[in-house]
Structure 1
Amino acid sequence: MNVFVAGATGVLGRRLVAELSARNHHVVGLARDERGDELVAENGGEPRRGDVLDRESLVEAADGCDVLIHVATAIPTSLKPTDEEWTRNDLVRVEGARNLVAVADEIDAKRLLLQSIVWVARQPDGGRFDEDSPPHPDRVTRSALEAERVVRRGGEEYGFEVGILRCGWFYSADSAHTRQMGEGLLNGEFPILGGGLLGRRDATLSILHVEDAARAFATAAESNESGLWHVTDDEPVTVATLFTAFAERLGAPTPRRIPGWLARPLVGKNSVELLTTSMPTTNDRFRETFDWKPRYRSYREGLDEVVETWDEDGTLTRTPEDSVWSEN
């Protein structure tokens, strides 16, 4: 296939370009500058310049491609993201989706895949949910849900296949948020946020190693299936279990627990809601549809890989007494 990837220079996009290239597909990766060109080429793709917010540049960049994949985001990485930062992410998700729909029609692409997030359908009571559950968007997730609607309408109007992959909470050794968590745990500055007045209520997260997300998108790109799927690992995990297990692997102190409401002035409402409201779901439907299963079946295998990578690349320096975070 000839596959176009918008978001090709991001944490997921780089792995997706490499995965598709390894499967002998011709991959065109969208890049905005020279460094982006290098990242796409390093992973086996053909870099083409453009911007997901510039429709005309996308038409030229995606020319000749059969499958379009939208994994571009602008998720804030600051400690307390501003509304302006989230607005930028909204624009990339939604306007990017509109532009790719128009491009799919103009170049007669056969398939369009969209990255979304499972917690658009997180239930108010924190109970289990699946692809048929009603969505409950908040400030962070409403643009993901709107992007889903955009590509669905586009597929119906123009006749191309649509696949929406709602992914769990991403983590990987090179993810900015994972690195922030690792450094914070080592410094004793990344507490467990609990729900309720005293912070004793643990939220359950559905998570996904980015490498498994890339494999899922590549698998879906090779199929003719249309639909909506949740893509997660096999075992939802509580925030307390995840953070404690991460700290143990790092050789960091056990993270303390604080009520979420107490952290809100420091990290903002959105981050607190993410870590104190449960979102347990499964990958059952995706596994039933495709020949896929997560390589990192749970947080255990995934965190092992993250910490081993940091040990090997020098991010972590181990001494007999402790572990030290080293920027490299």
Structure 2
Amino acid sequence: MSDTVTVFVAGSTGVLGRRLVAGLVDRGHDVIGLVRDDAGAELVRRLDGEPRRGDVLERESLLEAVDETVDVVIHAATAIPTGGKPSADDWARNDRVRLEGTRNLLTAAEAADAGRFLLQSIVWVARQPDGRPFDERSEPHPDRTTRSALEAERLLETSAGELETCTLRCGWFYSHDSAQTRQFGEQLLDRKLPVLGGGLLGRRDATLSVLHADDAASAFVAATEGEGSVTGTYHVVDDRVTLAAFARTLAERLSAPEPRRLPGWLVRPLVGRDTVRFLTSSMPTTNERFRDAFDWEPAVPTSEDGIERVVDRWLEDGTIRELPDGGLEWVGDRNPRQAWIENRESARSPAVDR
């Protein structure tokens, strides 16, 4: 890749996407962000990117949006359900965004003669039934929530033509502005978040491979700038941590009571089989191959560091506030996307001498 490239980002307004636009712009690249409405267009402009209207599910719109100036296409769009008990229909839209969206973006990238295509996937598509550690060479074991991710990966391998294609399987995202992390924080403060465990009594902890959204974005920037041929599948994670330890550390930082344990089978009727499977099935993996290939280092190497960063930002933007007794209260009435971009703009503003 040349020093400066033009990058097309699908999913440019999401938790990962807006960090991608900002990170690529900061590195001097020209960035085109795919948007679907005026609010998305305004966000991309405020990040110094160029918004273009379209939808990953509408091929013709992509053929117009991805032109011959584009060097790299990044598919970072998802539609992960965030409700308490996602239905089959909820997951079906995410399946379409992953698979049909990948197919449409590949067509547009090839028509524009782009050089590189990067796909966001997830490490738990290859987690092992017995919970043992795995890597990029391990046999995948998809379920109904991850099958489309694996199919999109295989589409890159078989249908990319002359494109250099690279799949970054990411760990479980967390950040101050992600819906799942915010749900964790609010429910811990309301004493409504249990720690789900496997087994009859819920005593078996699942080991999660987690990834702060800031590190996910920096990994995609590194892959965008990678020298030579950038192909293959890589795991991008920060830390391994049990769900119990993650929830306990977040509770401690929020001065909230330690969450109680419950067996996953007990709450399955309330949250659904898919949520229970995700939170009680281990997915221990490593970023070693990606670090070696791209000389990449995570900025948030441990979940303790990341949780500290999350809670500090919640205090700064008013998501939580201190109570007279020293405790914390969830407020959460600010738009997290708006708060994120305002914080970025404030950080970039030059200091004013008074």
Amino acid corresponding to residue 322 of structure 2 in structure 1: R
Range with greater deviation from structure 2 (71-80 or 314-323)? 314-323
> Which of these residues, 43, 56, 67, is aligned with residue 72 of structure 2?
67
Amino acid corresponding to residue 142 of structure 1 in structure 2: R
Describe the superposition over 1:59-80 as per-residue Cα deviations: whole angstroms up to 9, x where unpaired: 1111120100001000001010
Correspondence 1:150 to 2:188: no
> Which of these residues, 108, 111, 114, is aligned with residue 106 of structure 1?
111
8 Å Cα contact 1:220-1:290 kept in structure 2 = yes
Runs (4 or more) in structure 1 with deviation over 2 Å come to none
| Distance across 1 between alignment mates of 2:287 and 2:72 | 23
- Equivalence map 1:74-153=2 (5 Å): 74-153=79-158
Match of 2:53 in 1: 49
Q: Which runs of 5+ in 2 are unaligned?
A: 334-354
Amino acid corresponding to residue 239 of structure 1 in structure 2: L
- SS class of match (2:311): helix
| Distance across 2 between alignment mates of 1:154 and 1:47 | 27
Correspondence 1:228 to 2:233: yes
- SS class of match (2:233): strand
Amino acid corresponding to residue 204 of structure 2 in structure 1: R
- SS class of match (1:300): helix
Correspondence 1:297 to 2:297: no
Amino acid corresponding to residue 216 of structure 1 in structure 2: A
Correspondence 1:179 to 2:156: no
- SS class of match (1:91): helix
| Distance across 2 between alignment mates of 1:259 and 1:141 | 23
Quote the RMSD (CA, aligned, Å): 0.8
Match of 1:37 in 2: 41
Q: TM-score, normalised by structure 2?
A: 0.91
How many corresponding residue pairs?
325
| Distance across 1 between alignment mates of 2:46 and 2:174 | 22
* Shift of residue 321, structure 1, vs aligned partner: 4.2
| Distance across 2 between alignment mates of 1:35 and 1:141 | 30
| Distance across 2 between alignment mates of 1:135 and 1:44 | 39
* Shift of residue 327, structure 1, vs aligned partner: 2.1
Describe the superposition over 1:173-207 as per-residue Cα deviations: whole angstroms up to 9, x where unpaired: 00011101100111111110000000000000000
Match of 1:268 in 2: 272
Amino acid corresponding to residue 44 of structure 1 in structure 2: D
| Distance across 1 between alignment mates of 2:44 and 2:97 | 19
